[in-house]
Chains A and B, each alone.
Chain A
């Protein structure tokens, strides 16, 4: 049986580590390569880097970060943020990333998912989606709406429908990021995560709201997630990966305990 994965999310701006809180304030807290290396040694299962660099002039800095991570971190990692074309995706894969993560660009141009999936294989393509709870409408029957541009632009698109469409287009995995839960550390959005996990047959990674070990337990059991994304609870050293895994292991969740 596959182990449930703990994935650390590292937001990178101009080559430096940052953690967004409700996507409004960001505070740089160090070197992404050093952080990646430390988490790798501490037993992390997978990494995701989001490039939140504003200027496209500085995109090449990210390729350098990817390449340096790939030379010293030997677990899978994906890279997202600002990938608009198959060529953009190819660059980060060539630099050593295992997977690419597409979000806004995929909503604006769904064929990007199909093209990247065809070029690199479905297992390389992660569709990340930012979701906000809204009043259900005929267009958004689930009451979960897709938003883009870092949470600023609602799209009138139902999150459950978009998840299914993403799978049909060839995404190999989904990251479900709850804008409402992100940064609260009050727990993952269980209903959203479970609804999508039950609607698709590809792995689902829960994101946003993880603040305590039991939050991970809840989303990996009740939330039907295959993996949990964590950020601030690791970055601010509130818990170690060992502590998170011990908690899950003791409560009967299969996680990787040897490294």
Chain B
């Protein structure tokens, strides 16, 4: 099993992803610049925080170019939370131009029911909408841990692999070719979440 490179761009607490991989005995290391990403065979792109801040740091460290190169070379990449948002073309958060690996936009939750709280924080059920090797073990009613105020919306619905309900239906997992990304936190979602990381570590990047 090849080593997973975790992109470190000072966006929130990245150590929880590392701890989960360590527990699963999956080799991993942090990389803090685009240069260090060259030769990566597998990449996790985590993060929490503001889209504009994250994009600024990614560019400053050369990750924007290096991630696109890795994506075009077919390297398996997994985005988590903010990492599932800034792979799209644009985020409404700070009106930010993003990485544009998948065409689409990130929108803020605007529930009509004002008793629904923002951020959407806690456990919620995720339904698989089309098969994906990383989601192969999911069963109806499986729940994952979410913390977010924005959600990713790919332009092409064929890029949506799983959805979640919060007043309306929103994409919980998206993907395109060798890129797969979850809005929820698999590293904080118990055994069912860890299984996704396990599956990613063995994924060949094809759907």
A202 CB within 8 Å of chain B: yes
- What are the residues of chain B within 8 A of A121 when measuring CB–CB? 12, 48-49
B122 x A3 contact (CB < 8 A): yes
B198 CB within 8 Å of chain A: no
Contact bitstring B95-123, A, C-beta under 8 A = 1, else 0: 00000000000000000001001011111
Cα–Cα, bound, A70→B20 (Å): 9
A183 CB within 8 Å of chain B: no
A256 CB within 8 Å of chain B: yes
**Stretch in contact with the other chain, from B25-33, B71-79, B185-193:** B185-193
Contact bitstring A101-139, B, C-beta under 8 A = 1, else 0: 000000000000000000001110000000000000000
Chain A residues 40 to 99 lying within 8 A of chain B, measured CB to CB, are 40, 45, 70-72, 74-76, 93-94, 96, 98
Contact bitstring A1-44, B, C-beta under 8 A = 1, else 0: 11101000000000000000000000000000000000010000
A3 x B139 contact (CB < 8 A): no
Q: Nearest A residue to B197 by beta-carbon distance?
A: A74
A201 CB within 8 Å of chain B: yes
Query: Nearest chain B CB to A91's CB is how many angstroms away?
Result: 12
Cα–Cα, bound, A226→B23 (Å): 30
Cα–Cα, bound, A32→B30 (Å): 30
Neighbour of A3 across the interface among B13, B19, B123, CB < 8 A: B123
Cα–Cα, bound, A45→B146 (Å): 12
- What are the residues of chain B within 8 A of A257 when measuring CB–CB? 141
A201 x B117 contact (CB < 8 A): yes
B177 CB within 8 Å of chain A: no
A150 CB within 8 Å of chain B: no
B123 x A256 contact (CB < 8 A): yes
B130 CB within 8 Å of chain A: no
B143 x A3 contact (CB < 8 A): yes
**Which range holds the interface residue count of chain B?**
35 or more
Neighbour of A74 across the interface among B114, B165, B189, CB < 8 A: B189
Cα–Cα, bound, A123→B145 (Å): 13
Q: 20 A-B residue contacts at CB 8 Å?
A: A2-B121, A2-B124, A40-B190, A45-B122, A74-B20, A74-B188, A75-B145, A76-B145, A96-B16, A123-B48, A123-B121, A172-B119, A201-B114, A202-B117, A203-B117, A256-B143, A258-B139, A258-B141, A258-B143, A258-B192
A259 CB within 8 Å of chain B: yes
Cα–Cα, bound, A142→B136 (Å): 52
Q: Nearest B residue to A122 by beta-carbon distance?
A: B119
B66 CB within 8 Å of chain A: no
- What are the residues of chain A within 8 A of B142 when measuring CB–CB? 258
Across the A-B interface, the 4 shortest Cβ-Cβ residue pairs: A2-B122, A3-B123, A256-B143, A256-B123
B188 x A1 contact (CB < 8 A): no
Neighbour of B124 across the interface among A3, A173, A201, A258, CB < 8 A: A3
- What are the residues of chain B within 8 A of A40 when measuring CB–CB? 190
- What are the residues of chain B within 8 A of A2 when measuring CB–CB? 120-124, 166
- What are the residues of chain A within 8 A of B191 when measuring CB–CB? 74, 259
Chain B residues 182 to 207 lying within 8 A of chain A, measured CB to CB, are 187-194
Query: Nearest chain A CB to B113's CB is how many angstroms away?
Result: 10
B22 CB within 8 Å of chain A: yes
Neighbour of A5 across the interface among B117, B122, B141, CB < 8 A: B122
B129 CB within 8 Å of chain A: no
B122 x A226 contact (CB < 8 A): yes
Cα–Cα, bound, A96→B119 (Å): 21
B190 x A259 contact (CB < 8 A): yes
A94 x B13 contact (CB < 8 A): yes
Query: Nearest chain A CB to B69's CB is how many angstroms away?
Result: 31
Contact bitstring B117-156, A, C-beta under 8 A = 1, else 0: 1011111110000000000000101110101000000000
